[in-house]
Amino acid sequence: MMIFADDTLTFEKLADIVQQVMTGVGASLGIFFLTLLFSLPLGMLIAFGRMSRFKPLSLIVKLYISIVRGTPLMLQLLVVFFGPYYLFRIPTTPDYRFYAVIIGFSLNYAAYFAEIYRAGIQAVPKGQHEACEILGYSRAQKFFKVVFPQMMKNILPAITNEVITLVKDTSLAFAIAYTEMFTVAKQVAAAKSTIMPLFVAGLFYYVFNFVVAFIMERIEKKMNYFR
């Protein structure tokens, strides 16, 4: 099987392919970092709502998490993008495509992060909470000085998995015709009748995930002082 349908692969052609595919890297990185920026703190708020003693709030948040985890991210992106018009007849602008991507990704990953946070908080021994009460800590002091540090150590492996998944999921932005790196790679592959752009995109995802895993591993080692 030939890389090119009509010619052999040369260094110049490979360099040209890499250059074209890399034009979409900025969009992929934008989705990745903005999703983390919004979903990580939003996930904490959702986790608090999930654990709330106010049952109506807890049930609503639980339903939200169930819907997000039970439906494909691609479908959620379509709903966020087309929903305003078809549900409320609100016209959208071309710029909204980018906002829809960030909103859809953030709402999706916030639900997963919320459950990870909840598991981490509930994993803190009950004795830690009792000790804080004896010492007279307020709820905020107890959370930030005792619960939060232990929670972060416990959930780092799960957070790492979600972050790595996010790197790959950025390619799903094509569902609403938002041009990111994988979409560019497919366009170049079709134009040049070669699968090399897809290999270049795959290599980028692998390297990016390798860097993410390395950074998260370093952070996890820094947290080992709790042992």
| pTM, two decimal places | 0.88
Is the per-residue pLDDT at 130 higher than 60? Answer: yes
Least confident residue range of 44-48, 193-197, 219-223: 219-223
In a domain, 11, yes or no: no
In a domain, 9, yes or no: no
Domain hosting 61: range is 28-181
137/84 Cα distance (integer angstroms): 45
200/17 Cα distance (integer angstroms): 8
In a domain, 103, yes or no: yes
Is the per-residue pLDDT at 55 higher than 90? Answer: yes
In a domain, 7, yes or no: no
Confidence class of residue 134 from pLDDT cuts 50, 70 and 90?
confident
CA 159 to chain centre: 10
In this prediction, residues 124-138 reach a mean pLDDT of 81
Report the number of distinct structural domains present in the chain: 1
- The residue to which tokens 């639900």 are assigned: 111
Q: What is the DSSP letter of 10?
A: -
**Three-state secondary structure call for residue 94:** coil
Query: What CATH number has the domain bearing residue 102?
Result: 1.10.3720.10
Tell me what pLDDT residue 32 has: 96
- The residue to which tokens 């790959």 are assigned: 168
Is the per-residue pLDDT at 4 higher than 60? Answer: no
Judge contact between 200 and 40, C-beta under 8 A: no
Contacts 24+ apart (CB under 8 A), 6-9: 6/193, 9/194, 9/196
Nearest CA to 32 out of 178, 204, 157, 165 is that of 165
Tell me what pLDDT residue 8 has: 64
User: pLDDT tens across 78-90, in order?
Assistant: 999 999 988 888 8
In a domain, 118, yes or no: yes
